[in-house]
Amino acid sequence: MNATDRTPADLLRSALAADPGRPLVTFYDDATGERVELSVATFANWVAKTANLLQGDLAAQPGDRVALLLPAHWQTAVWLLACASVGTVADVGGNPAAADVVVSGPDTLDAARACRGERIALALRPLGGRFPQRPEGFADYAVEVPGQGDRFAPFAPVDPEEPALIVAGREFSAAEVVERARAETTEAGTRVLSGLPYDTWDGLVAGLFGPLATGGSVILCRNLAELDEDALARRVESEKATALRR
C-alpha cells in the first residue's frame, strides 16, 4: 500500500494497481453453506458499480449519511467502500430516520422504512441474487446495480479529513480509518479469518479495513458459531489463514 493513501478508496485503488488478481474478500455463511471469493478486481468492480448507483441514481453527495442496516457480509464490505468512494458517511447500524439513504438487509426492512430518503434493499442471497418479490418502498440492489458503470469518478474530490464512518456511536474521518487500520494491523499481507460482526470498530478493522490497509485479505465468516473447533481448524488450514478473530 502507498504511504500517500488517505482514504479507504485510495487503499482499494492501490490494491488494484498492485495485484488485481489476488483474493481480497472470501465470504462464508455457515448457516447456508454459501462461499464466495472476490479478487481485488472483482471487488473493485462491485464497488464502482455501487458507487455509481449511490452517486447517480440515489443522488448522494459528500457528507450525506447512509445508514447501513446490514450484517458482516461481502456486500456490506462493498457498500462501505462505495460510501468511501463517493464521500458519504457510512453509518453502520445507524438511525434510518436521520439518514439521507438507507441500505437494508432482509431482516431490517421495517426499521429501514423510517428513512424519508432513498431506500435500497439487499436480499443477501447467494451470488448476489435478487428478492423473489421487491419489498414495497425499496429498490432492489440486485436489480439496480448490474447496469451501472464499471468505472467510477466522484463528482467532487473526497476530503480525507471529513467524516466517513460512524460505528458504535464513534465517528471517524476517512484519514482516521486508514491511519487506525494501519496502526492496528501490524503485519503486512495478513490473511485474517474473522467471525466478528461489523457493528464495532474491531469487527470492521479485522473484517475489512485492516487487511485492505496492509496488503492482506480477509475470510469473512457469518454464523461462525455453527462450526465446531475441528471444522474451524480445517477452514483455517484450507484458507491459509494467518490470523483468527472471533
pLDDT at 186: 73
Rounded Cα–Cα distance for residues 160 and 179 (Å): 11
Q: Are 66 and 99 spatial neighbours (Cβ–Cβ below 8 Å)?
A: yes
Question: For the chain, which ranges sit under pLDDT 50?
Answer: none
Q: Which secondary structure element, helix H or strand E, spans residue 165, and what is its range? A: strand 163-167
pLDDT at 89: 98
pLDDT at 1: 62
If one looks up domain 8-245 in CATH, what number appears?
3.40.50.12780
Domain ranges of the chain: 8-245
Q: Are 142 and 129 spatial neighbours (Cβ–Cβ below 8 Å)?
A: yes
Q: Are 200 and 184 spatial neighbours (Cβ–Cβ below 8 Å)?
A: no
